Structure 1
Amino acid sequence: MLNATIVGQITSALQHDEQGRRYCTVYSDQARRSVRVLVRNDRHAELISQLPKGARLSATGTLHSRGAIGPSGQTLAYLQIALHTLKIHEARQ
């Protein structure tokens, strides 16, 4: 298993996927990529649910991916990080 870290801003509130797992989506300006962050820990879920959309955080955990073919025929990669470590960044003023 590979570990990965994404540093970016929350673009969706906590929600449940098709298997009932909690997740939020984090977008990284640097990577120009969105990643679904799976949240298993209740404390992490509580912290994330209190953050406003656009709040910055670092999420580190086990990387999972799956591929698909998009409507235009392009290959798409869906990335997920099963969260182990969470760091919330101070709001910029």
Structure 2
Amino acid sequence: MIIGSLLLEIYIPSARSLKDKRSVVKSVLQRLRNEFNVSTAEVGQQDRWQVAQIGVVCVSSDGQYAQEQLRAIVDWLYAHRPDLSVSRAEIELL
């Protein structure tokens, strides 16, 4: 069993309050769950208006598949959420 984790740090320039930020983050988390069948959560930077850290985890029997799926998530964010800027994306396989 391979566990793949992805730590994303995103910049949300349109957020002017924590309420704005949470609305965007909640939307991103739900879309990633629906599109990729992964587990997601906001894992850090919860008190900053325009920065969010998101954790994504997938489980697979194939390490290459897990890594490709996590890379696809980063690509999907670039393609489908141009309003966000991905400042950090770290993939780790366990």
- Name which structure has the greater RCO, CA cutoff 8 Å, separation 6+: 2
- Higher share of residues assigned helix: 2
Structure 1 and Structure 2 fold alike (TM over 0.5): no
Q: TM-score, normalised by structure 2?
A: 0.29
- Higher share of residues assigned strand: 1
Q: TM-score, normalised by structure 1?
A: 0.30
